[in-house]
Structure 1
Amino acid sequence: MGNLFSKSTDTPSTLGKRTRGDDDQDHTKRPRIAPILESQVGISAFMNPDLTGFHCIVKNRAEDFLVNEVDLDGQVVRLTTFDVPVVHKATGPSYTADEFDAKIKALFDQDVASEFRDFLDHRDDIDRVISIQTDKTTRFELYKLIATLDTPLKSSVKEGLLTLCWPENVENPNRRVFIDHTALGGEYLQLNVYKTQMDTMGAVNLIARVVKVPSKQISYAGTKDSRAITVQSMTIVKGRPDRFAEVAEELASHGLYVGDYKFTPRGLTLGDAKGNHFSIVLRDVKGADEATMTKSLESLASNGFLNYFGMQRFGTSSILTHEIGRKILQKDFAGAADLILMPRAGDGYLFDKARQLWAETKDPKQVLAIMPKRASAEIKILKSYERYPGNHQKAIRNIARNMYLLYIHAYQSYIWNRAVSARVERHGCSEPLIGDVVMIEPTEKQVNEKRKGHLSNNVGRRDPWDRMVPLVLTTENIHNYTIKDVVYPMPGRRTVYPDNDIGELIKDMMKEEGIVITKGDNIFDDIPGDYRKLHAEAKDVSWSFIRYNDPSAKLFNTDLDTAKGEPQPVGEPNGKHLALRMEFTLGSSQYATMALREVIRIETSSQSQSQMVHSD
């Protein structure tokens, strides 16, 4: 997913940067760092080199960049309703009172059956509770009996003591109406999550804390970053929609809303989505007339764009993530640690103070004492140095695994970008070359070989073993494929490289930097390699022009606005500023900023966009 930033007339955005908190109390203005250029991360070519670009401001406000997940069925995930579904309906046999009492007696004894009947006969006594000592088996059978009642009962259990009460009883918030998930559709509660300036993990952690469910029970199809308003589905094992209704206001105070609940038999896992739908406003458009811009938009719709990894893949710091990844793959672990710990341009006061102390002393204990707590990678490295002085490799591997892999993936992305730029410069991008690689469906034998000896605990919605496999093009098969089929490799120990000059170039680029990926070296165990299409297609492309006067005027409705019945903004017919509203759908892991780049032809880094302001 790709995003851009610019100055706003409202509160200045801190997205993509370290935000100041209680541990960064000095308000000394940070020095501005030089914008990161696309050429620094290998981005230089265009699918259609003949288009005219234009000036614009991307994401002047949060509502200018809307991202909606697209599910495996091709449906755009939207927040449309906050209604909580009815979770209790009488299921199973319809018993008479005597039959019901006999079932209770058979489970427990006559005394329990009599007490239970007396409880049921006093529906108006909402403060009354009944407690029954149970084990797992009798409790499950009792739940099934309770499910046959027209009126639901709340329950709680502690050390086998099951307490039941009427639904109006609010004495103990831990007592809940029993939900028969299977009868409602499945073990998982699926909900659509709308969030403002919050990434997926931030949303998961917030839901876990407020709703009081373990974060490991919350799953999702893809990660969304914080630099947009995003909507995506999540699933929760044995989730309860009533609990979300109770804490809706607290979630909303953090910019998070949930709705469109349903029960499903399978949870989501990473990859269980087709892509994302983008609704984007480009403000203060100038430098080209509407006819010229329309030509560029039509080219995007018909020709697509080069599937580069966007600028946010490489971070917003003056030290780019792929530079750290390069050091790790060079096995220069001391150099990688220094890139993470040493002073860098653009840091806040306390971060800079801690880094300067490291540069002067290399004393992990001293630096840990003043390093801001939000510096997770830095703290992990320093703690390792404190325990294992001088062991640089151990220090780097002490970083959280997802962050460690982020650095390596950034380097792979950098090599991929450079390879594609070289390919377009040398050979264009209109047709495949002999030796190019494409992906094809695996044979049944290949799938069975992958499955052999492996028990998958995948609970998602795809077959984890039925993955495409690479095929090198030859004179015999090249006519079966187009440029849209061509992929370029993310270097790894199982990577199949193109059998042509670009394949050799990829290997040479890494050799020049002292990197040779070998199967027997455990530093590359986490780097199997992957493939990414050269060409990206923008689907469902639509656009409109709208004029406005107020630079902060809302020009696109969010899902939240629509769910609340807000009318779509119409702008000012004679407004002094022109905006372009765009919508399009991209596949998974494709960057909207790279689609925009094909049209606007200006630098897309957040630093470059942050310098843009509305013209007078």
Structure 2
Amino acid sequence: MACFLSNHEGFFGSIKNFTRDFVVTEIDIAGSLVSTIDCISESSVRTLSISEDVSCSFAEKNTEPKLVAASPTLETECVSDCSSNSLETLDLSVILGQVVTEKLEQFACSLKNGCSSEQELSLGSFSHKHQRANVHRAVKLRFPFLLTITNQCEIKAKEWQDYRELRQMVSEKEADDFFRFTDAKVSGSSYTFLPDDNREHRTEVHRFLSRRFGKLVETKSFTDQGRTSICVRLRERGKPKKRTAEDCRQEDIYTAFTLSKENLETLEAISYMAAELGVLPSDFTYAGIKDKRAITYQSMVVKKVSPERLKEKAAEFEKRGMRLFAVRPVSEPLKLGRLCGNHFNIVVRDIKPHIYDGPDPLAYSESMVKLAVENVKTTGFVNYYGPQRFGITQKVQSDQIGLALLKEDMVSAVHLFFTPDKRDEPQNKAKCHFLQTGNAKEALLMMPESKARERLMLRAMNRFGTGPDGCAQAWLSLPHSTRIFYLHSYCSRVWNEAAAHRLTILGDSVKQGDLVQGVTGTMNDSGETSTNQIHVVTEEEEREGVYTLGQVHLPMPGNTVKYPENAMGAWYKERLSKDGLESCRFRVSSLKMNVPGCYRPLLAFPHNLDYSLQREGDGVENCSDGDKNDKATDSVKLNLTLNFDLFPSCYATVFLREVMKTMVN
């Protein structure tokens, strides 16, 4: 990020010295600050005007239908005995021998090609029960459509009629994934079939699953974004087959609350709460992800938890740096991007000029800060994604993982994900052990309980292996919003470089071929500009100065966007080719991920900006109103307090970077 808009001098200063120096409060879709008390006072309500420079909330927008992960995404350990097996014990060629394994593969292939389902294949005799158990597990893992039967010590394989019947109703992959799900028997897990808008067909699937698997699972249809799917959950032990009215009501309970967290990632906070409440992390919904190194307030909704139960756990959450406010029942979950923006309260401490040798550095700094803030208030700032988007402290940043996923190099993506930082922490020791030994089970035992994403992936690799397929299953074990985050991080990195290049080669005026938002266009809830609202600037419009730089948009790479019709179009092509993505369709079908792309404004502007200067150490509280003749000493420090609003996906650290003319994390 090399470009600045304003030409003021800038200054040094310190932010996030204390967490209370950086406070972020979400602004809901109605334009009000999220509630931190049960009854919002009038003074806490703020309105944020929606205008044409609403920024793109690409990180939180997902236009792809929610599809199911093939492996369960859980916080609890797998209760199936197969989790204790090493990779060798589940290798068919080791268990059965190469000759029998080849016969089994041929047998399975013949069944797939429609041969008689009455056939059976002997896999041999096994005297020890542990050997027989391994045979059953390994065959089910490799061939979910086969049924293995023990007669004394001999094991035979045959086609599973239940599989054949289900296969007539759903796709082969769905059938395979469903039978692997039922075989895993992970407590509290669920599986969701692909969306199905045919009600009669869904009824047929419900009846089949109830008839053949009713003692093991329960089914329910749900609608999301206008599409209906069947969700299957494992029954709790001892729970009756037929759901009671209370069970049905519990499924439909939604509880909203305001979450205040300190020095915690949003996903990390959700993992803590899910484990404490006994629900899945995916049962929590939120409008946006907030900074870790800050005190943040944001809206959340949790499913299947009553307000009373949530309040009972409030004391436990507070031990983890989380507080709950405005707990109340609601009728539906939150959606990503359903916010107007964020309000920031920031203190920049110990302000000093970059270069100054004069007699009164404090007075000079005061005038310089005022000039800087007023300049950025008027001209705005380059709408870069902030460094926290990519991981400030991580050795491997999230955009590198996203690039590997776009190339569908699952093994490299997993290794990048598990690359440890330099800090001597338990999770880094677990990551080192996994990379050095490839032993997912041992690394899982070393991984702290709080590291939910790492543990989910290690569990999946313990079950499916560490090869390409196993690594793909590891990624599928994460929620879709987590997987897609890495792809969006890569696109964000490209956008940042594009913005700097655009200003460097084309300057601060609108040029022919630039993309601008149409005058009559409107934004959706997340601030994303759709394709039909984007206009290509003509030669005549450039000459007449029809548009301003604040209306220029740059595309986030994806499969539905158009690129600028000037030098920037060629730059995008070269930039993607540099990373080996010249033919990339921005889809990773094996992980059910699609990146359509969108358009992000080149510039962003602070709203409702208010600021003041304070001298710390000489008794003067507010320098903007105080006595300018006070004697400055080395012990006196100058602090700046800022209060302002930004639209979704705009970064306060990038705003501060423009004001201070220095890198801010």
Range into which the TM-score falls when normalised by the shorter chain? 0.5 to 0.7
| Structure 1 residues 209-228: aligned runs within 5 Å | 218-228=284-294
Q: Give the structure 2 partner of residue 44 of structure 1.
A: 2
Match of 1:59 among 6, 16, 22: 16
The one-letter amino acid paired with 1:317 is Q
Residue ranges of structure 1 left out of the alignment (5+ in a row): 1-42, 84-157, 164-177, 179-185, 448-459, 556-572, 606-616
Q: Give the structure 1 partner of residue 400 of structure 2.
A: 323
Q: Give the structure 1 partner of residue 616 of structure 2.
A: 548
Structure 2 residue 558 is matched with structure 1 residue 481: no
Q: Structure 1 residues 465, 262: closer, same or farther in 2, change over 3 A? A: farther
Match of 1:582, SS state, is: strand
Structure 2 residue 18 is matched with structure 1 residue 68: no
Structure 2 residue 494 is matched with structure 1 residue 415: yes
Moved more, 55-64 or 516-525: 516-525
Match of 1:398, SS state, is: helix
Q: Structure 1 residues 470, 160: closer, same or farther in 2, change over 3 A? A: closer
Q: Give the structure 2 partner of residue 577 of structure 1.
A: 637
The one-letter amino acid paired with 2:598 is D
The one-letter amino acid paired with 2:260 is Y
Q: Give the structure 2 partner of residue 272 of structure 1.
A: 338
Q: Distance in 2 between matches of 1:208 and 1:289?
A: 48
Q: Give the structure 2 partner of residue 192 of structure 1.
A: 258
Match of 1:581, SS state, is: strand
| Structure 1 residues 21-420: aligned runs within 5 Å | 43-48=1-6, 50-81=7-38, 190-204=256-270, 218-235=284-301, 248-260=314-326, 267-287=333-353, 289-315=365-391, 316-342=393-419, 344-348=420-424, 350-351=426-427, 353-358=429-434, 360-364=436-440, 367-368=443-444, 370-372=446-448, 391-392=467-468, 394-396=470-472, 398-399=474-475, 400=478, 401-420=480-499
- 8 Å CA contact 1:442, 1:466 repeated in 2: no
Structure 2 residue 539 is matched with structure 1 residue 470: no
The count of aligned residue pairs is 433
Q: Distance in 1 between matches of 2:521 and 2:398?
A: 38
- 8 Å CA contact 1:67, 1:229 repeated in 2: yes
- 8 Å CA contact 1:382, 1:395 repeated in 2: no
The one-letter amino acid paired with 1:406 is F
Match of 1:508 among 559, 564, 574: 574
User: Offset at 1:252?
Assistant: 3.9
Q: Give the structure 2 partner of residue 182 of structure 1.
A: none
Q: Structure 1 residues 245, 274: closer, same or farther in 2, change over 3 A? A: same
Q: Distance in 2 between matches of 1:274 and 1:541?
A: 16
Deviations 1:82-119 (A, max 9, x none): 79xxxxxxxxxxxxxxxxxxxxxxxxxxxxxxxxxxxx
Q: Give the structure 2 partner of residue 492 of structure 1.
A: 558
Q: Distance in 2 between matches of 1:227 and 1:367?
A: 28
The one-letter amino acid paired with 1:306 is V
Q: Give the structure 2 partner of residue 539 of structure 1.
A: 607
- 8 Å CA contact 1:82, 1:259 repeated in 2: no
Structure 2 residue 397 is matched with structure 1 residue 439: no
- 8 Å CA contact 2:527, 2:648 repeated in 1: no
Q: Distance in 2 between matches of 1:471 and 1:289?
A: 43
Deviations 1:439-477 (A, max 9, x none): 348999xx9xxxxxxxxxxxx989999997433222355
Q: Distance in 2 between matches of 1:270 and 1:187?
A: 19
The one-letter amino acid paired with 1:545 is L
Q: Give the structure 2 partner of residue 23 of structure 1.
A: none
State the TM-score, normalizing by the size of structure 1. Answer: 0.60
Q: Structure 1 residues 200, 467: closer, same or farther in 2, change over 3 A? A: farther
Q: Distance in 2 between matches of 1:392 and 1:323?
A: 18
User: Offset at 1:592?
Assistant: 0.6
- 8 Å CA contact 2:530, 2:599 repeated in 1: no
- 8 Å CA contact 1:385, 1:392 repeated in 2: no
- 8 Å CA contact 2:307, 2:329 repeated in 1: no
Q: Distance in 1 between matches of 2:351 and 2:33?
A: 28
Q: Structure 1 residues 597, 367: closer, same or farther in 2, change over 3 A? A: same
Q: Distance in 1 between matches of 2:270 and 2:413?
A: 30
User: Offset at 1:368?
Assistant: 4.8
State the TM-score, normalizing by the size of structure 2. Answer: 0.56
The structure, 1 or 2, with the larger RCO (C-alpha pairs under 8 Å, 6+ apart) is 1
The one-letter amino acid paired with 1:303 is T
> How large is the RMSD of aligned CA atoms in angstroms?
4.3
- 8 Å CA contact 1:53, 1:601 repeated in 2: yes
User: Offset at 1:349?
Assistant: 5.6
Residue ranges of structure 2 left out of the alignment (5+ in a row): 41-239, 354-363, 623-631
- 8 Å CA contact 1:397, 1:404 repeated in 2: no
The one-letter amino acid paired with 2:11 is F
Q: Distance in 1 between matches of 2:598 and 2:338?
A: 18
The one-letter amino acid paired with 1:61 is F
- 8 Å CA contact 2:19, 2:294 repeated in 1: yes
Q: Structure 1 residues 436, 202: closer, same or farther in 2, change over 3 A? A: same
Q: Distance in 2 between matches of 1:271 and 1:501?
A: 32
Identity of aligned residues (%): 29
Deviations 1:313-353 (A, max 9, x none): 111212122122223333444433332345x5514265555
Match of 1:232, SS state, is: strand
Q: Structure 1 residues 350, 161: closer, same or farther in 2, change over 3 A? A: closer
Q: Structure 1 residues 51, 481: closer, same or farther in 2, change over 3 A? A: same
Q: Distance in 1 between matches of 2:428 and 2:312?
A: 43
User: Offset at 1:587?
Assistant: 0.4
Q: Give the structure 2 partner of residue 529 of structure 1.
A: 597
User: Offset at 1:365?
Assistant: 5.2
- 8 Å CA contact 2:5, 2:381 repeated in 1: yes
User: Offset at 1:577?
Assistant: 2.1
Q: Distance in 1 between matches of 2:593 and 2:243?
A: 47
- 8 Å CA contact 2:306, 2:329 repeated in 1: no
Q: Distance in 1 between matches of 2:446 and 2:16?
A: 35
Q: Distance in 1 between matches of 2:453 and 2:305?
A: 33
Match of 2:349, SS state, is: strand
Structure 2 residue 658 is matched with structure 1 residue 598: yes
Q: Structure 1 residues 485, 260: closer, same or farther in 2, change over 3 A? A: same
Q: Distance in 1 between matches of 2:299 and 2:340?
A: 12
User: Offset at 1:547?
Assistant: 2.5
- 8 Å CA contact 2:271, 2:452 repeated in 1: no
User: Offset at 1:306?
Assistant: 0.5
Q: Distance in 2 between matches of 1:323 and 1:62?
A: 29
